[in-house]
Amino acid sequence: MLPLYITLHMLMLVLSTLCNYGIYILARIAWQHSRMLATIVGGWQIEKGKGKKNDMKAKFETAISTRHGLAACSVSVVMLLLALPGGGGFWPLLVVSCIPFLVCSSRGTVRQSFSFGLFFGTLHFLVQLYWIVFVVGHYGGLPIYFSVPVLLLLCFYLALYFAVLALFIRASVKRFSPFLCLWCIPAAWVAMDYLRGVVFSGFPWMDIGYATVTVSLFMQSADIWGHHGLTFLILLVNTFFALCLLLRKNLERKAVLAGIVTVLLLMSLGYSCWRMQDIEEQTSRADFLNVGVVQGNIAQGQKWKPKRQGATVETYLRQSALLMRSAPKPDLLLWPETALPFYPIGHPLLLPISRFLQDEGVMLLSGSPWYERAGMTTEGFKLYNSSLLFSAGGQIVHRTSKSHLVPFGEYVPLRRYLPFIAPLVETVGTFIPGQVADPPACKNSRIGVLICFESIFPDISRKWVDAGANLLVNITNDAWYGESSAPHQTLAMTRMRAVETRRSIVRSANTGFSAFIDPLGYVQEESPLFVNWQAAGKVVLMEQRTFFVRWGFAFPLLCLILTLLASLVLLRKRHTT
């Protein structure tokens, strides 16, 4: 018998679908019985003298003005903002959020569709990434006349993927059957998301699939096809409704499309229900590790001052001492990124840390900067953003370094080829990336370490688990983001990593959100933002490797291949025409 929460989630899904379908029916009635109302709401201008209404050619009986197309794109941006974590998390909007963008992209001219995609992407990423101006300007020390253009250029670049996608949507709707459109458009969306996540080091921030973390039942299939598969399902539903608008009265084709979408959704939900019960049974038999998390809440503007280093270490030791008196008593303490605000080699502040670990008999994993001498000159140093594992005797026994660095934060891309940019970014560090190698071990655990925003990259956590990690930790410093939406977004993406790899994730942040996340993606315990906080908990250690861990980005690569093949067919049809 299904657990009660699964039944409730399914009921919510059914109610949401019925509500959205009711809205769709009302919109169709308004369209069919009032051309004036349709023109006001949707911006469509009905043309006269066209052909069959039940044929796919009837999709081009209407034209859209640029103004109304931009308004439709704005509606999609607002609905996505309200649906995604950090902006509201109202997941039922996912079913209809992309419809205005899909429809207006298919209605415009080539120039219009490209403009719609560019506008939609730029606006979408502006509302998701607005906090970059604060981070780069306030903490990076970069002037406002540089930080604002950096945000705009980043959003413009990311929007180019949507501009190309809009052209593909237009061509597909014009030349493909509804059946092919139903598959090709979601596949193309996933392909663009995948490319955006890997090209130029990648920036896969808040893809649409992450919105499913607010309803855990929906995201359980991510251990097969990753969050990209969830994006595909969301776009499949949106594409179906968009095609229903375009097909008008062709009920036979609508029924076929509805059957395909329903079968795929039921298969995904059925697998999720079974997988949740399976994982619960596995976790009940699995080993565990007692982990204590410390959130020091050290002000970002104070932690690197030499006079504050001693007070910072005292804060972490004091909170750690409280954890050692709690139940369960931790086997491992976890401190956040750069909790040690100094280079530890030979530093005197390591002595109280070593004494504490010896007295308590506990191991410590902490973030810290690190350096290695690269030559005989004083400037020959390699800098790393690292995590250090201390034994119960107080010695450093393992070090891992951040493998995916932050552009313009930890290094400047193409600095050698862009010398004119150096005066603008003098405060930006020059760190060396590390590698995913053998996971550090603590008792029966093998730990994969995600430093800072590495938790947004599925492939890094996948590589750690494939290398043998049965526990993932994310040490980070979210003080950079202030009270923005970014901490909520990073927590949501970290939860998805737990489901994809079926590993517990323990998150230690300087200012929050620190959290214990189980292999189902549930947050077992979570800290507030900007408070001193510590907690200990039993963390499940899973050993099974998921399909996603074994095969990685197989699904988005398949979508990319399908998109390329469809593009070749579209080009051939265009030349033939």
The domain that holds 354 is classified in CATH as: 3.60.110.10
According to the model, what pLDDT value does residue 302 have?
79
Using CA atoms, how far apart are residues 497 and 499, in angstroms rounded to an integer? 5
What are the 10-residue block averages of pLDDT along the chain, 577 residues in total?
Answer: 38 44 45 38 37 44 78 96 91 94 93 96 96 76 78 94 97 93 97 95 93 91 96 97 84 87 94 96 95 92 85 96 91 95 92 96 95 66 92 95 83 65 56 91 96 95 96 92 90 97 97 94 95 96 96 96 96 76
Q: How far is CA 127 from CA 87, 190, 485, in A?
A: 9, 21, 10
Using CA atoms, how far apart are residues 366 and 347, in angstroms rounded to an integer? 15
- Catalytic residue selected from 452, 454, 463, 559: 452
According to the model, what pLDDT value does residue 188 have?
98
Is the same domain home to 423 and 470? Answer: yes
Establish if 171 belongs to a structural domain.
yes
Is the same domain home to 212 and 324? Answer: no
According to the model, what pLDDT value does residue 413 have?
73
Assess contact for 224 and 218: CB atoms under 8 A: no
Is the same domain home to 171 and 250? Answer: yes
Establish if 548 belongs to a structural domain.
no
The reported pTM is 0.87
Is the same domain home to 109 and 53? Answer: yes
Asked whether the bond before 513 is cis by omega within 30 degrees of 0, the reply is yes
Length of the chain: 577
Q: Cα torsion at 559, 81, 519, 510 (round to 10°)?
A: 120
Using CA atoms, how far apart are residues 569 and 571, in angstroms rounded to an integer? 5
Q: How far is CA 429 from CA 107, 190, 319, 409, 522, in A?
A: 47, 34, 30, 7, 36
- Catalytic residue selected from 59, 244, 303, 402: 402
Tokens representing residue 377 in the block: 């000159």
According to the model, what pLDDT value does residue 61 have?
45
Establish if 492 belongs to a structural domain.
yes
Q: How far is CA 340 from the centre of its chain?
A: 28
According to the model, what pLDDT value does residue 34 have?
37
Is the same domain home to 270 and 326? Answer: no
In terms of C-beta density within 10 A (0-12 exposed, 13-18 middle, 19 or more buried), how is residue 258 classed? middle
Using CA atoms, how far apart are residues 339 and 317, in angstroms rounded to an integer? 11
- 402 noted as active-site residue: yes
Establish if 549 belongs to a structural domain.
no
Establish if 206 belongs to a structural domain.
yes
Kindly give the residue spans of alpha helices, DSSP state H, lying in 286-382: 309-324, 350-360
Establish if 575 belongs to a structural domain.
no
According to the model, what pLDDT value does residue 528 have?
94
Q: How far is CA 287 from the centre of its chain?
A: 29
Is the same domain home to 249 and 344? Answer: no
According to the model, what pLDDT value does residue 35 have?
41
Is the same domain home to 293 and 424? Answer: yes
Instruction: Look up residue 58 and give its DSSP letter.
Output: G
- Give backbone dihedrals phi and psi of 325, rounded to 5 degrees, phi first: -100, 0
- Catalytic residue selected from 244, 303, 337, 360: 337
Is the same domain home to 370 and 442? Answer: yes
Is the same domain home to 188 and 292? Answer: no
Number of structural domains found in the chain: 2
- 337 noted as active-site residue: yes
Establish if 573 belongs to a structural domain.
no
Is the same domain home to 118 and 239? Answer: yes
Angle at 98 between CA 97 and CA 102, to 5 degrees: 150
Using CA atoms, how far apart are residues 154 and 149, in angstroms rounded to an integer? 8
Residues 6+ apart with CB under 8 A from 408: 136, 140, 142, 150, 425, 428
Full residue range of the structural domain in which residue 560 is found? 4-281+554-568
Is the same domain home to 201 and 301? Answer: no
Is the same domain home to 349 and 226? Answer: no
Establish if 577 belongs to a structural domain.
no
